Amino acid sequence: MIRACVIGWPIEHSRSPLIHGHWLKVYGIAGSYAKVAVRPEETAAFLRSMREQGFAGCNVTLPHKETAFAVADDKSPAACAMGAANTLWFAGGRLMADNTDSIAFIEHLRASVPRLSLRNNLVALLGAGGAARALVYAFLEAGAAEVRVFNRTRERAEAVARHFGAAVKVHDWDRRVDGSREVTLLVNATSLGMKGAGKLDMDVSRLDERCVVADIVYVPLVTPLLATAAARGLVTVDGLGMFLHQAVPGFEKWFGVRPEVTDELRALVVADIEGR
Ligand SMILES: NC(=O)c1ccc[n+]([C@@H]2O[C@H](COP(=O)([O-])OP(=O)(O)OC[C@H]3O[C@@H](n4cnc5c(N)ncnc54)[C@H](OP(=O)(O)O)[C@@H]3O)[C@@H](O)[C@H]2O)c1
């Protein structure tokens, strides 16, 4: 039986087992996917002995993504660009690392708004944390001309700009409304809007009427940002699709089947989010 897992600290909240458990059932694979709580000081040792413990690989969530990147023998270009990994597997005895958040965001965006192309276009990004870095990488890979980063802590946005180069422009957090007027896509990658976190104060009335508004927060599924954007008639993209798509590459590496993100899977996770 093939075994995989997700590691984090804490890990109880993780919905990854729901996704992989669903796919194991749908594809009739005799495998398992578990949650494993790993203390930060034990992460490197856990990963180095993962194979001996019988795991084909794992997903990695907070706060272990940087350690996972550092410990891996071979790293994908996306993982290198972010300095963090969320998906690990073995190839020829070597520990391989990828970061699937950026491709997941793009795949969900393409599936949700097929008409949208980022090539030579402007993107506004709220936030400059770990997830924001994955998105900057995704936008630049998709050919965006400019990514405007608005972050409460300006130095953090400046660090992102230094890392990714001249196409990333840093703006003050207070300029997020005026500085987003003509963008093609606006994405919230702060934790604001998430259940239990603060409110995101973002006036969408001045965005271009063709601007697509996305949120990577997915609890609640329809964040206040998405609700106000939709009420204005703008096309919106929720954060859940990114979460579902980031799981695809790992499942394929461990279990040998490329799984599909279906309405059935989405409904399963939505029911869990809504406590049904
Ligand atoms: N859909 C998905 O698959 C997916 C994947 C990854 C993450 N996420 C979600 O994305 C969010 C960010 O994750 P992360 O890992 O990037 O977290 P992070 O590294 O901790 O970054 C948090 C970001 O939120 C900003 N922020 C927090 N409180 C704020 C406030 N009161 N006012 C203004 N800005 C504030 C921070 O600004 P400062 O720099 O000023 O602190 C920073 O930019 C989380 O809600 C996470 O659940 C979703």
| CA atoms within 13 Å, Cβ hemisphere of 229 | 26
Query: Ligand 1 test: best mutation among 14, 177, 190, 226, most atoms within 8 Å of CB?
Result: 190
pLDDT of the residue at 4:
98
| Confidence at 275, pLDDT banded by 50, 70, 90 | confident
Answer yes or no: are the C-beta atoms of 102 and 138 closer than 8 Å: yes
Ligand 1 centroid–CA 129 distance in Å is 6
The response to whether residue 246 sits with its C-beta less than 6 Å from ligand 1 reads yes
pLDDT tens digits, 203-212: 999 999 999 9
Task: Give mean pLDDT, residues 132-148.
Answer: 97
Exposure class string for 75-114: b at 16+ Cβ within 10 A, else e: bbebbebbebbbbbbbeeeebbbbbbbbbbbbbbbeeeee
Helices (runs of H) and strands (runs of E) counted in the chain:
11, 12
Residue 153 beta carbon below 6 angstroms from any ligand 1 atom:
yes
Q: Is 35 a catalytic residue?
A: no
pTM: 0.95
Q: Is 127 in the pocket of ligand 1 (CB under 6 A)?
A: yes
For a mutational test of ligand 1's pocket, the pick from 126, 152, 218, i.e. the residue with the most ligand atoms closer than 8 A to its C-beta, is 152
Give the mean pLDDT of the chain. 97
Mean pLDDT, rounded, for 139-167: 97
Find out whether 181 and 118 touch, Cβ atoms under 8 Å.
Answer: no
Nearest CA to ligand 1 atom 35: 190
Confidence grade of residue 232 (pLDDT, cut at 50, 70, 90): very high
Alpha helices in 114-153 (DSSP H): 130-141
Nearest CA to ligand 1 atom 32: 152
Q: What is the pLDDT of residue 258?
A: 98
* Marked catalytic residue, from 35, 65, 75, 253: 65
What the block records as the tokens of 120 is 């030579």
Q: Is the separation of the CB atoms in 159 and 240 below 8 Å?
A: no
Model confidence at 216: pLDDT above 90: yes
* Three-class secondary structure of residue 96 per DSSP: strand
- Which atom of ligand 1 sits closest to the CA of residue 216? 1
Ligand 1 geometric centre to CA of 197 (Å): 10
* Structure confidence by residue, pLDDT tens digits, 48-63: 999 999 999 999 999 9
Mutate to test the pocket of ligand 1, among 191, 237, 242 (most ligand atoms within 8 A of CB): 191
Q: Which atom of ligand 1 is nearest to the CA of 126?
A: 43
